[in-house]
Structure 1
Amino acid sequence: MRVRELHAAEAGDAVDTVFRGLSAQSRYLRFHAPVPRLTASMRRRLTDLDGHRKAAVVAECHRTPVGIARLIATSEDTAEIALAVVDPWQRKGVGTRLIDALGRLATDLRYTELHGDVLGENQPMLRLIARVFPGARLTRDEDDVIRVSYPLTFELTHEELVADLRW
């Protein structure tokens, strides 16, 4: 399996493949509602990638997408994240690899915080978050939706520091 950045030109096929691989329960946990089919407007939103304010990574096995993690900027330095892994590949490390890769991408893009909403019943996702984002802030609302917030830290390279000082 490999994880790489997903580009807009190929996003449609990846989104379609991953959506088809999700059970009704997995779609409910991902979208927080029953989603029997991928509508045209949902597909447009999920495939709208610009590599900065809207970016994604894909996990592939033998060139077949098995998971996607996305980020969407919610401010200049914060981004919301979402994750979907096809059912046969769940609990096999794909989510961990996707979240790791998305965290690195977010850091490269200079985001300072990631956040997302998880249904309280989605215990596998909450365990994944606890492993990958130790120290994440979790707040539960009245609808049993848990808001996850995780501050990112990044180190400037010597060259970046010099460039900033010269600027």
Structure 2
Amino acid sequence: FFEFYPTEYVNDVYVISQHEKMVGINVGLEIDLTGQVCADSLGYRFYSGIGGQVDFIRGAALSRGGKAIIAMPSSAKNGEVSRIVPHLTEGAGVVTTRGDVHYVVTEYGTAYLHGKSIRKRCLDLINIAHPKFRNQLIQAAKEQKYIYEDQIELVWEQISYPEELEHYDTLYDGTQIFFRPVKPTDEPALSEMLYSLSSKSVRTRYMTHTMAFPHKDVQRLTNIDYRQDISIVGTVPMVSGDKIVAIAQYFLDPKTQAAEVAFIVQDEWQQKGMGTFLLDYITRIAEQRGVKSFYAKVLPINKPMLSIFHNSGYKVSTEFDGEVYSITYDLQKQEPKE
């Protein structure tokens, strides 16, 4: 049976919110870099009415376990126009305010904006824009002082996210970790992880006692050329977004096809098998891409990392200069199993 009610009831925010796990999916014509959504007009020309968008956005957000979603293609006019824009078109009306927007979804991914700073909103939205418009949006965001003026820009081919490298794995203690390539939007989360490291972890990774990780350095770790280099982060889900608990990277020298490799695992996540998995995982990626060898500098006090290398099953050469071990890890020669 069907029951019919007036819009005063059906679109009542309180009524909508009483449904657990209510998902409100609405569309937008364009969204600016701060999260304001236009859904009813093209400039001064009205395209449609407001409908129940605001009611269901707010009702779903108030629902226990609910989600408020704005879904839209990243571009219009056969890819000639970006729907994610520096500012709304003159005359366009704001249907859903930046304070109400939670999730924005395009064919390039999902951006969670609720409670985020303007800088983070910009980077998250640019990350789900059509790749050919991303640098234009970065330039506009710089001009509007929304993001750092030195924010790294990459060409389209460099920023095609390798979704096929996403992977779930279970640690020794049964915890499931989501491993994926790093994204430019990971800079705040990676900074948070780096600043949470103990002085010993900083020393073993960077061979220094410095505890400063400025924006200009961290952004180099999150803005990479996926065609050449690899950076895999291990994440656990949080209400505010992914929490990064580990990162493994290699940076390739195209002339020698040898890559420098490095790992960081947050202190409370060490001794759970994450380092072993990360070395194995980026080794498989490197082999598929024709990388010949890894090399790394490891301090003598970093015995867990030395053990991971030597137990990898590959031929490992080690030289010690009195202070640091130089490790060479040959991807073309596996040690015979006993």
* Identity percentage of aligned residues: 25
Written as runs of structure 1 = structure 2, the 5 A alignment for 1:87-98 is: 87-98=267-278
Written as runs of structure 1 = structure 2, the 5 A alignment for 1:8-87 is: 8-62=183-237, 63-76=242-255, 77-87=257-267
Alpha-carbon shift at residue 4 of structure 1 (Å): 2.8
Which structure exhibits the higher relative contact order, with contacts defined as CA atoms closer than 8 Å and separated by 6 or more residues? 1
Q: How far, CA to CA, are the matches of 2:207 and 2:313 in structure 1?
A: 21
Written as runs of structure 1 = structure 2, the 5 A alignment for 1:80-159 is: 80-142=260-322, 144-153=323-332
Q: Are the counterparts in 1 of residues 319 and 327 from structure 2 also a CA contact under 8 Å?
A: yes
TM-score (normalised: structure 1): 0.82
Q: How far, CA to CA, are the matches of 2:283 and 2:262 in structure 1?
A: 12
Count residues in correspondence: 153
Q: Which has the higher helix share?
A: 1
Q: Are the counterparts in 1 of residues 314 and 331 from structure 2 also a CA contact under 8 Å?
A: no
Q: Using a 3 Å threshold, how does the CA distance of structure 1 residues 53 and 11 change in structure 2: closer, same or farther?
A: farther
Gaps of 5+ in 1: 155-167
TM-score (normalised: structure 2): 0.42
Alpha-carbon shift at residue 42 of structure 1 (Å): 1.9
Gaps of 5+ in 2: 1-175, 334-338
Alpha-carbon shift at residue 59 of structure 1 (Å): 1.2
Q: How far, CA to CA, are the matches of 1:50 and 1:4 in structure 2?
A: 18
Deviations 1:71-107 (A, max 9, x none): 1112341100000000000111111111111111211
Q: Decide which moves more: 4-13 or 21-30.
A: 4-13
Q: How far, CA to CA, are the matches of 2:332 and 2:250 in structure 1?
A: 17
Deviations 1:102-157 (A, max 9, x none): 11121122101111110112112111212225431111113x21111111139xxx
Q: How far, CA to CA, are the matches of 1:102 and 1:81 in structure 2?
A: 9
Secondary structure of the residue aligned to 2:311 is helix
- Bigger Rg, which one: 2
